[in-house]
A and B are shown apart, each in its own frame.
Chain A
């Protein structure tokens, strides 16, 4: 697993103002992503886990340069993606693609499937016009759609098939990195497995690197080599997949793991139930960001500063004073 980093996220920070009215004074700033750094190594799947609203999707959009961060950078093959212009920027778009969560909102309802999948090819002009249709059909067959689907509209498809269309579109430019933003959370469980297997097959075939964003730990565990856990815009723990599941360090990770259902009927682990909701990012708790819900919180230590994100054991990082 010692491959060179393809994509490097360095101290990424992004805030949104909560009140930007014409006559309002100082706007409240919500920190959606707060000092997030990680490496994405070539050929692996990196899982990004957290509750809704913890900033996962914002991280995805920042990496795709759909939004600009307030500070921090993302480098792709050593180059800052926010400084790319012209051809270099177009090339970056070819290399990094996204699969969305909601297969209903991610396909233009007024365009045919063939047009949707072929659009990136037309924008980048990488395939001669007359060959676009053949290439699109090739992609459709690759993701398990039939060539008869070419001239149909998105509303004629089930959510699983729509997600396949989204995958084909993401693959059309021959990317190296695919950011999958909760690609299966909107699907039925039976379809989830099909899509996950498809993603894994494609990874092997095309040597893809995935950033797999999800709140479902079972899926993340199944697909990821390394897992990052986010809470309230910050990374709280990062470890190799099995290590994280066997020896979670951060109390938040423990709580998440205890909430995931197991398939073993005999094994009953202690369920850790977190009290309260995710705090508002407008008004984060003082000290450790997890202190307001932490079952093992010690006021004398935890309420003073936010703990540093440090390597607790080999390749296993966490942000907690007590572990």
Chain B
């Protein structure tokens, strides 16, 4: 429970790891916005005379098996990864918040039905569920976002439900009911704003895992389709040439690592600063 936002900022500013996570995430945003302007080559431009060239001053990260500049491709992949992370988590947050709020606020049979549905969803190994769903559709970045979002909302639903269960007993909620507020007003104006802090943490960590899932899918060839660059499908090219072209695997791999690390540090920093007792 935050008692004031100044407490939060005070603790957050003293948390070096959280600040470095925050810096990484901000840098990634800037890179993704600037990518079209700062990438030295067109990421899809094929140069048959310069295949699998090692890193040099002309090609910082070398070139891939079609002679495309890996540095430009990694830069352009940043935007895709961030987009997938944000939209997927946005979708899962909306689904999770709505279902969790209904379950927690109304309780009884509404709660029973929704939470059994959550349990059922949790029973599926989510990665195979995602692969199955994607197999049904033409793979595109939007389908990937929706599918990742639609298979990862259960944690948010549980968090929000738990928050609602305790918050709906609080006197300010009773006061709102006593003054005649309707359920929708109580849910969205009174309880939800107080229940969002843990979701913020969960969402930040969720972005990291959504980016990982997208990379895995693209690596397997069912995510972002070439020639559009994504860290995952650059890695696929790297796998085929790992013995002769280490740069094809190392640089996109590092990009994924740094991004996921950045979001995890930021998420954990937010969590610790929101509630130091959780530390």
One of A70-78, A98-106, A143-151 at the interface: A98-106
A31 within 8 A of B: no
B120 within 8 A of A: no
* Interface residue tally for chain A (C-beta within 8 Å): 29
A105 to B174, CA, bound (A): 10
Contact of B171 among A100, A123, A124 (CB under 8 A): A100
A155 within 8 A of B: yes
Q: Known contacts A100-B171, A105-B170; decide if A124 and B180 are in contact (CB<8 Å).
A: yes
One of A11-19, A107-115, A304-312 at the interface: A107-115
A123 and B174 form a contact (CB under 8 A): no
B179 and A100 form a contact (CB under 8 A): no
B contact patch SS: helix
Interface string of B161-205 (1 = CB under 8 A from A): 000000000111011111111000100001001100000000000
Closest Cβ of chain A to B74, distance in Å, is 41
B56 within 8 A of A: no
A173 to B178, CA, bound (A): 11
Residues of B within 8 A of A109 (CB): 1-3, 194
By beta carbon, the residue of chain B nearest A156 is B4
A155 and B176 form a contact (CB under 8 A): no
A66 within 8 A of B: yes
B175 and A100 form a contact (CB under 8 A): yes
A64 and B180 form a contact (CB under 8 A): no
A124 to B180, CA, bound (A): 8
A107 to B171, CA, bound (A): 7
A209 within 8 A of B: no
A93 within 8 A of B: yes
Q: Known contacts A108-B190, A123-B185, A155-B3; decide if A90 and B180 are in contact (CB<8 Å).
A: yes
A119 within 8 A of B: yes
A153 within 8 A of B: yes
Contact of B4 among A64, A155, A172 (CB under 8 A): A155
A107 to B179, CA, bound (A): 13
A169 within 8 A of B: yes
Mark out the residues of chain B between 94 and 150 whose CB falls within 8 Å of any chain A CB in the assembled complex. Answer: none
Closest Cβ of chain A to B121, distance in Å, is 20
A66 and B178 form a contact (CB under 8 A): yes
B175 and A93 form a contact (CB under 8 A): no
By beta carbon, the residue of chain A nearest B181 is A123
Residues of A within 8 A of B175 (CB): 98, 100, 106, 166, 169
A173 to B176, CA, bound (A): 12
A89 to B182, CA, bound (A): 12
Mark out the residues of chain B between 211 and 264 whose CB falls within 8 Å of any chain A CB in the assembled complex. Answer: none
A108 and B194 form a contact (CB under 8 A): yes
Q: A90-B180, A108-B190, A119-B179 are in contact. List 15 more A-B contacts (CB 8 A).
A: A61-B174, A97-B179, A98-B174, A100-B174, A105-B172, A106-B170, A108-B172, A119-B181, A123-B179, A123-B185, A124-B179, A124-B180, A169-B175, A169-B179, A173-B179
Q: Provide a sorted-by-A list of 5 A–B residue pairs whose CB atoms are within 8 angstroms.
A: A66-B174, A94-B180, A102-B171, A108-B193, A123-B180
